[in-house]
Structure 1
Amino acid sequence: MQDTLLRIDWLPMMLVCGAALYAVMAVLASLVSAARAAARERRFLPTRAPTPVSVLKPLCGAEPRLFDNLATFCEQTHPCFEMICGVSSADDSAIAIVHRLQAAYPQCRISLVVDPRVHGTNLKVSNLINLAQWAHHDVFVIADSDIAVEADYLERVCAPLADPQVGVVTCLYRAKGIAGFWSRVGAQFINEWFVPSVRIAHAFGSTRFGFGATLALRRSTLAGIGGFERLRNTLADDYWLAGHVRELNLQTVLSPVVVETDVTEYTLAALWDRETRWLRTIRSVNRTGFAALFVTFTLPWIACGAWLAFELHRVNAHPAVSLALVVAAVAGVSARVVLHALMGAERRLLWRDLALMPVRDALLFAQWMAGSFGSTVVWRGVRVPVEARDNATTVFRPEPAKALEVSDGR
């Protein structure tokens, strides 16, 4: 047993120390990001009246809280904006929500576009292509349907576009589980893994991101990359939109604005489907980065390190290694708890959701393993390919997914 431990202790030790270091860095990045973002925002304080904005809202179905989320976009302090909502079917249940919105906010310019045309494998982008032709203004803000914002949202996210060197503005989001146990686990995926990972990358100078929560850009910039049509056959349309803008030698700005989103999955199957789709999307745009994600699953490696430290102590082998593993484990767990306290969407539920952390990290590790394989994902009930299809002549016919189907690697 001792000989075996001597042979295997260095690799687990590096993994444990790496996971602990990542957790500590996530806390530090979360603490400093707000101050740095506020300093950057002061550079873009508007010196003239805000530019009129067209908010594009691709919709599909009457999601939970859809009316409430859309209503936050109607209560903006921005002096001149319109919201254009689009669906692909005349019997889409979101239409009734938009009609309610138009009645509740008659002072707002709220348009509804019903257009069944499909332009590629990405149905959201098809919706955006149909919406864009109805936009009246020269600044576009694209935001997912499940996003809620503060009243100064449009003014703040569009301000950086006054700089001609800025091509696209995006922002992070905070999640809240509104459908029970599994939705709370899903909220931790966003708040305590995804957002800290982005902030760490941003702290080291990366701007290779773009999030569907918000993408603000000028109409001329969109035209310069070939319009939404260029994205019609890509899965990670938000990422590639920002990426193509950077090809024009324009900057991506991460706004200090943090919007809110709802996690509505109430079963493990639904949550697995959604998060595996996200991980396969990450794999499709950055295979190296995806492969390196294993070090970000803190608690499984901490548990491994604690077990190894116990075994080394039991056989009186490598006391220095055993001590280092214990220190790393304590540091990693402590940082993980602090991160939970910092990033939790609801402070009053801090202690209740603390117990979800082991479930969250173990599930994330399993999803990463599943996300390493497969060429398709299920999005809004439709199976779509992970890899882009560049054949412009391809006519895409949506393939409905089975009711309980998850991405199975076909």
Structure 2
Amino acid sequence: MATAIELLTTLLTLCGLAYMVLALWGTRDFVHSVRRRRMADSGQYTPDITLLKPVKGVDDRMYAGLVSHCLQQYTGRFEIVFGVHSLADPAVPEIARLQAEHPEVAIRLVECPQRLGTSGKVSNLVQMLPHVRYEHIIINDSDIYVGPTYLQGVARYFADPKVGMVTAPYLGRTGAGGRELTVWAKLEALGISTDFLAGVLTARKIEGGIRFGLGSTLACTRTALAAAGGLEPLTEYLADDYEMGKRIAAAGYTVELCGECVETTVPGYGLKGYWDHQMRWARSTRDSRRAGYIGLGVTYCIPWALMTLVASGFALWSISLFTLVLLARVTVALTVGVGTLRDEQVLRDLWLLPVRDCFGLLFWVWSFAGDTVVWRGETFRLKNGRIERV
């Protein structure tokens, strides 16, 4: 039995090591493709764009994120349409403030009183869509912070008529200090920059592109969205971003991952908040990409290498293997997190990498133990990607 366990953990460790190589290969391919795209871009393709932002409440750094969308170095026309379920929402005064401080930007607020499905966000988007003026739309969350070249970086991909959707990588920005800078917030941000994006770039390389969207940026044409069935069928889905990209790809369009990295805010999680968020992500991914998710377990090479150390009785070869795995994992973290995302937080929290990977393996295992998720304080049951209140 001991020998069998040793062989199994060694095999899983080697599979994890192979995944690290694939992640580096995928990252290299992505960086080169972004460079080629930027070199080929004349900057003359600047279609008119509508930004759709469903909002609910006021999040940390929300206003700074809203302002960043107004400060775009973009020669085309663009507008920002906000959607709220009720005009009594706390976000409404913030939007009024934004309109007053940035009169040069066309900013509109739409009340979305109907609840068309379990997902309040998508329900709002369905009601916002008739107010859109332009063919090209970008959907992102209220806490997203973007750089001044964001619109141009996304728009350049639509010069190719085959492109139906453009999505963007993102990093999680923790609080600067105090109660917002918890160890759980650090683990969340570290996972986004060194684990999540590495998986996306590996899938992009292996599958010859991506066929899903990331909620940080869902840019598409209204024509492609209509061909994919519109937003109405997504009102019951938890991973609406994934489904939207999947359906646009199934309609015959290309989905592109652009080089414009954006930021999302990581709350000052306690253990329960961190657990709930990670389990929601894990079970959502499990339901969306079943085959790929099963293979995700082998990517946590550090805990597998630790198990191999113990199973082998700390034999010299297992120590060497653990050292090699640790070196490969750190290389991926620095290449993806620092080199690609420019996330300096990775350097600050690099020592937490083994802890993050051990938690990651735990979340992966536990994700198969149930179907419930917690989202904005409400508990839902997840089945085939759809959610229903418990």
TM above 0.5, yes or no, is: yes
Deviation, structure 1 residue 226: 2.2
Q: Which residue is 2:150 aligned to?
A: 153
The offset of 1:53, in angstroms, is 0.4
Correspondence for 2:222 = 219
Aligned to 2:333: 340
Residue 66 of structure 2 corresponds to 70
1:20 equivalent in alignment to 2:23: no
Q: How far apart are residue 56 of structure 1 and its match?
A: 0.2
Deviation track 1:267-302 (CA, whole Å, cap 9, x = no partner) reads 111111111101111111122211111111122112
Q: How does 1:26-105 map to 2 (within 5 A)?
A: 26-43=23-40, 45-46=41-42, 48-79=44-75, 80-105=77-102
Give the structure 2 partner of residue 165 of structure 1. 162
Hey, what does 2:264 align to over in structure 1? 261
Report the equivalent of 2:204.
202
Alignment of 1:314-329 (within 5 A): 323=317, 325-329=318-322
**Residues 1:283 and 1:66: Cα distance change in structure 2 (over 3 Å):** same
Structure 1 residues 339 and 159 mapped into 2: Cα distance closer, same or farther (>3 Å)? same
Aligned-partner Cα distance in 2 for 1:101–1:167: 30
Shift of 1:7: 3.6
Structure 1 residue 188 displacement after superposition: 1.0
- Structure 1 pair 184–81 and aligned structure 2 pair: CA distance change class (3 A): same
1:201 alignment partner AA: A
Kindly state the Cα deviation for residue 225 of structure 1 after the two structures are TM-superposed.
1.9
Inter-CA distance 157–347: structure 2 relative to 1 (3 Å threshold): closer
What is the deviation of 1:113?
1.3
Where does the alignment leave 5 or more consecutive residues of structure 1 unmatched?
314-321, 391-395, 400-409
2:190 corresponds to which of 188, 191, 194 = 188
SS for the counterpart of 1:386 is strand
Are the counterparts in 1 of residues 45 and 156 from structure 2 also a CA contact under 8 Å?
no
- What pairs with 1:213-362 in structure 2 (closer than 5 Å)? 213-311=216-314, 313=315, 323=317, 325-342=318-335, 343-344=337-338, 352-362=348-358
| Shift in alpha-carbon separation, 1:354–1:88, aligned structure 2, 3 A | same
TM-score, normalised on structure 1? 0.86
Structure 2 CA distance for aligned equivalents of residues 98 and 260 of structure 1 = 20
Instruction: Please state whether the residue corresponding to 2:255 is helix, strand or coil.
Output: strand
Partners of 1:138 and 1:348 lie apart in 2 by 36
The separation in 2 between residues aligned to 1:194 and 1:124, in whole angstroms, is 23
Query: What TM-score does the superposition give when structure 2 sets the normalisation length?
Result: 0.91
CA distance in 2, matches of 1:246, 1:346: 29
1:376 counterpart (366, 372, 375)? 372
Inter-partner Cα distance in structure 1 for 2:55 and 2:384: 23
Distance change >3 Å, CA 8–CA 380, structure 1 → 2 = closer
Q: Percent identity?
A: 32
